[in-house]
Amino acid sequence: MTLLALEAVGVSKRYGDRDVLRGVDLVVRPGELHGLLGPNGAGKTTLMRVLLGLVGRDAGTVHLLGHRVEPTDRHMPDGVAGFVETPGFYPYLSGRKNLALLARLDGDRCPARVDEVLDQVGLSAQADALAGAYSAGMRQRLGLAAALLRSPRLLFLDEPTSSLDPAGARDVRALARRLADSGTAVVLSSHDMAEVEELCSTLTFIHHGHVIVSGTLDGVRMLAPSRVHALHTSDDRAALDLARHRPDITAVLAAGGGLEIFAGVDALDEYVISLGCTGIAVRTLESRTRSLESLFLQIAGNNGAGEIDTLKAELADREPVPAVMS
């Protein structure tokens, strides 16, 4: 039996009266690139912080590389590394010196290793500049280098390409792929659906601290609504309000304007007629293919506790069901 790289069961975290994580389960195997998806505030970063021991958990069990991490055990096991949000460094030290000090904390005083990881993230030329002069993208690369210093077998990357230019993002994706190919489990939090679809073999959707769905990329993709329509109207806000009164329709405002509508044909027909009856003109209506993005938008459009339970039940009933449901 292969040892799991990460196994989290029933992880919960509460800040005051707000539940940030509610019984989250997460399993990642060695060599797996696992995407962690969800809207802003879903709990992805908090989950990473909990798993990395930066934040204590209120319930649940966590095993990292087979090592049981107790709630009070704020200590990073060997072989686990990563960064959360834009990593911070000492601005009065060079990038190289920052890494050398971090390596010293890990008990490694070999300068060749620092040069090696700087080269891996493409930062060798700027290694002797002060970290305070680094751009956000360079700090992200330095954060990745700091993580690589630990020769990780489980690597957490929180939006690792968010501040990088396209070439830098491509390099980081290639590096993540190489690490996974060599057996490292990589947990990747991202808003970039294309990035997740390109890289990840498994993924987990989180929303309001719940795991909505988790499984293989293909399996989760099949759970995306089969009938997604992009709708532009004369009054998208009013059209959204109208859709919210119809239980057979889910509608969300699309990032590029207009609405994404998740509904069957009959429900869509009735909805379009009702738009006309209320004086809202339909300007365009086009069918879209099944994609992670449409699933993301559908999940992001469900915000109430009741809606989330309904959505989970709906996804569980949707055919085919190859994914692991939480």
Partner 1 sequence: MTLRGVSAVMSVEWSKLAAQIKTRTVLAACVASPFVFAVAMRVQSNVPTDTLFGRAVTESGVAVPLVVLGFAALWVFPIVASIVGGDVFAAEDRYGTWPTLLMRSRTRADIFAGKVLAALAFSVLAIVLLAASSVAAGVLVIGRQPLIDLSGVLRPPGPVLVRVALAWASVLPSAAGFTALAVLASVATRSSAAGIGLPVVAALTMQLYAMVDGPELIRRSLITSGFGAWHGLLAEPSYYAPIAHAAIVSGLYLVVCLTIAYRMLQHRDIGG
* CB closer to partner 1 out of 20 and 28: 20
Residues 6+ positions from 294 with CB-CB distance below 8 Å: 224, 225, 228, 260, 262, 288
* CB closer to partner 1 out of 95 and 215: 95
Q: Are 258 and 236 in contact (CB under 8 A)?
A: yes
| Total binding residues toward partner 1, as defined by CB under 8 A | 37
Alpha helices in 18-165 (DSSP H): 44-51, 95-105, 111-120, 136-148
What is the 3 state secondary structure string of 53-86? Answer: CCCCCCEEEEEECCEEECCCCCCCCCCEEEECCC
Query: In the bound complex, what is the minimum distance in angstroms from residue 46's beta carbon to partner 1?
Result: 7
If one asks whether residue 105 binds partner 1 (CB under 8 A), the answer comes out as yes
Q: How many CB atoms lie within 10 A of CB 126?
A: 19
Tell which positions 139-178 bind partner 1, by CB under 8 A. 143, 146-147, 150
If one asks whether residue 15 binds partner 1 (CB under 8 A), the answer comes out as yes
* CB closer to partner 1 out of 107 and 304: 107
Q: What H or E segment, with its residue span, contains residue 173?
A: helix 166-181
Query: In the bound complex, what is the minimum distance in angstroms from residue 51's beta carbon to partner 1?
Result: 11
Tell which positions 106-135 bind partner 1, by CB under 8 A. 106-107
Q: How many CB atoms lie within 10 A of CB 118?
A: 23
Query: In the bound complex, what is the minimum distance in angstroms from residue 59's beta carbon to partner 1?
Result: 15
Which listed range, 31-39, 105-113, 206-214, 280-288, lies at the site for partner 1 (CB under 8 A)? 105-113
The amino acid at 154: L
Task: Choose which of 25, 85, 115, 307 interacts with partner 1 (CB under 8 A).
Answer: 85
Query: In the bound complex, what is the minimum distance in angstroms from residue 94's beta carbon to partner 1?
Result: 9
Q: How many CB atoms lie within 10 A of CB 7?
A: 18
If one asks whether residue 39 binds partner 1 (CB under 8 A), the answer comes out as no
Spatial distance between the Cα atoms of 251 and 242, rounded to a whole number of angstroms = 9
Three-state SS at 95: helix
Q: Which of 256, 259, 264 is nearest to 238 (CA)?
A: 259
Task: Choose which of 3, 66, 70, 104 interacts with partner 1 (CB under 8 A).
Answer: 104
Integer-rounded Cα radius of gyration of the chain: 22
Query: In the bound complex, what is the minimum distance in angstroms from residue 54's beta carbon to partner 1?
Result: 4
**Site mask, partner 1, residues 44-83, x = CB under 8 A?**
--x--x--xxxxx-----------------xxx-x--xxx
- Binding residues for partner 1, per CB under 8 A? 13, 15, 46, 49, 52-56, 74-76, 78, 81-93, 97, 101-102, 104-107, 143, 146-147, 150
